[in-house]
Structures are given as structure tokens and as C-alpha cells.
């Protein structure tokens, strides 16, 4: 693909690696395109929907004139797969922080798990995690959290279109979720454990789809960079 084609506008499907931030992935692509495809230093590039560093999977990156489509793509339904760990919570609702509380799981069985799933289908009220990039009083929530500050977080409306349990091997439960923009799967993990009168946190997360875009058609960042040499 030529520099002109990237400037005209492309949608790149990237399979984001574990522990990379979405910003790092976009930056890696940006400098690869500048250094290997001959793009000018100030060309437009951006992603359509952040993935946490501890999540992998589909990151849609738009270049050139296609950056105008970012808002439209971000608004599409997203599909995730992953794992809840039942019986313990963490402040971040995932593995970014250590376990802070443990709970009994002796009452949890397959019937309770599948019944609990039904509570989360459709429009729900969800509170974003304190360890998130949402701003409160001009400061990102995770900055408040790391400073040990207590912050009131408002509930938000979100929609869960599909919620399927794909494996039960307590304390682990694997799932597949299709949800609207703005849904926090970490919060879903926390709320799911609470609804079963226990605790839960997210131990694995992979974004598999955004609208009709599928991670099966995505490329690793490093492989994309290597492809520019060919």
C-alpha cells in the first residue's frame, strides 16, 4: 500500500498484544508508517475504542481521512470473551491490583450462575471502575484511585445484548458478551460476583468484534511493521 493510500484513508485491524496500551499500539504503527511507508510526520491516525493494557484483541486504527469515521465505529456493538475469577475482588476489578477481599463460593453452582446471567441482559445501570480513564473534576479516575482518594462515581446506562457462559470450572467462569459502547467488562465481573452474593474480578479479556469487524482479520502490530518492508 502506498503512502497516498494511507493518507487518503485506511482502516487497520490490529490484534493488540497483552500489556500494551492502545496509545502504544497506535504510536508503534504511526512511527512504522512514517519510517517505512514514507508518510509525513503529522499525518492523521487514531483508534476507535480503547482497550486496557491487560486486554488483547481487536483495535481498529484509522488513518488519513478515515479518522472522521472513528466516532461512528466506536458507537457499534462490541463482542468480548474472557474469564471471571469467582470468590475474590480487587480494587481495579481486574489483575492490575492485588486481591483485597475474599468471599465464599460454596453456594455457587451452575444453576445460580445461569440464573444470574439473566439479570444482566438488556439495559443495565453500571458504575465504571475507579481505575478507569474517565475524568472527574478534570482528573482521570485512576489518578484519584492511585492517590488513595475516595470519589463518587455516577451510574451509567449500558446495554448487554448477549451474555453467554462458555465454561464453568470454579473459581473460573469463561464468558462471551456482546454489549453497547461504554460498557466496562471489569465492572460486569464485579457486579456479577456481587449478584451471586460473592465476589469476582476479571482475569482475562479479549475483544473479538466491533460491529462487523472481526479479530480473525486483524494483524499483530509487529507483523504489520514487518509487512511494510516487503
Residue from 49, 40, 3, 32 nearest 207 by CA: 49
Q: Examine the residue annotation and report whether 137 is marked as an active-site residue of this protein.
A: no
Mapping DSSP to helix (H, G, I), strand (E, B) and coil, where does residue 56 land? strand
Which residue is associated with the grid cell 492490575?
A: 96
Check: CB of residue 107 under 8 Å from CB of residue 136: no
H helix runs in the chain, sequence order: 3-8, 22-36, 70-74, 110-119, 141-146, 185-195, 221-227
Q: Which of 15, 52, 94, 191 is an active site residue? A: 52
Coil, strand, or helix at residue 188? helix
Question: What would the DSSP string read from start to end of 2-49?
Answer: -HHHHHH-EEEEEEEPTT--HHHHHHHHHHHHHHHS---TT--EEESS
Catalytic (active-site) positions: 52
Amino acid at each position: 500500500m502506498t503512502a497516498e493510500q494511507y493518507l487518503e484513508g485506511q482502516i487497520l485491524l490490529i490484534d493488540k498484544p497483552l500489556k500494551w496500551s492502545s496509545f502504544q499500539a497506535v504510536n508503534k504503527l504511526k512511527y512504522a508508517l512514517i519510517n517505512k511507508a514514507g508518510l509525513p510526520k503529522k499525518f492523521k491516525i487514531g483508534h476507535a475504542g480503547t482497550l486496557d493494557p491487560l486486554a488483547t484483541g481487536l483495535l481498529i486504527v484509522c488513518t488519513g481521512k478515515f479518522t472522521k469515521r472513528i466516532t461512528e465505529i466506536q458507537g457499534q456493538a462490541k463482542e468480548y470473551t474472557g474469564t471471571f475469577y469467582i470468590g475474590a475482588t480487587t480494587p481495579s476489578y481486574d489483575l492490575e491490583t492485588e486481591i483485597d477481599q475474599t468471599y465464599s463460593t460454596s453456594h455457587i453452582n451452575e444453576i445460580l450462575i445461569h440464573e444470574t446471567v439473566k439479570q444482566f441482559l438488556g439495559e443495565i445501570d453500571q458504575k465504571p471502575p475507579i481505575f478507569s480513564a474517565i475524568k472527574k473534576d478534570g482528573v482521570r479516575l485512576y489518578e484519584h484511585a492511585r492517590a488513595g482518594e475516595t470519589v463518587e462515581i455516577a451510574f451509567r446506562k449500558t446495554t448487554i445484548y448477549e451474555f453467554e457462559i462458555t465454561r464453568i470450572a470454579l473459581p473460573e467462569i469463561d464468558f462471551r458478551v456482546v454489549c453497547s459502547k461504554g460498557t466496562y467488562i471489569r465492572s460486569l465481573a464485579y457486579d456479577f460476583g456481587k449478584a451471586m452474593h460473592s465476589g469476582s474480578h476479571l482475569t482475562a479479556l479479549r475483544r473479538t468484534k466491533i460491529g462487523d469487524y472481526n479479530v480473525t482479520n486483524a494483524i499483530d502490530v509487529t507483523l504489520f511493521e514487518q509487512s511494510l518492508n516487503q
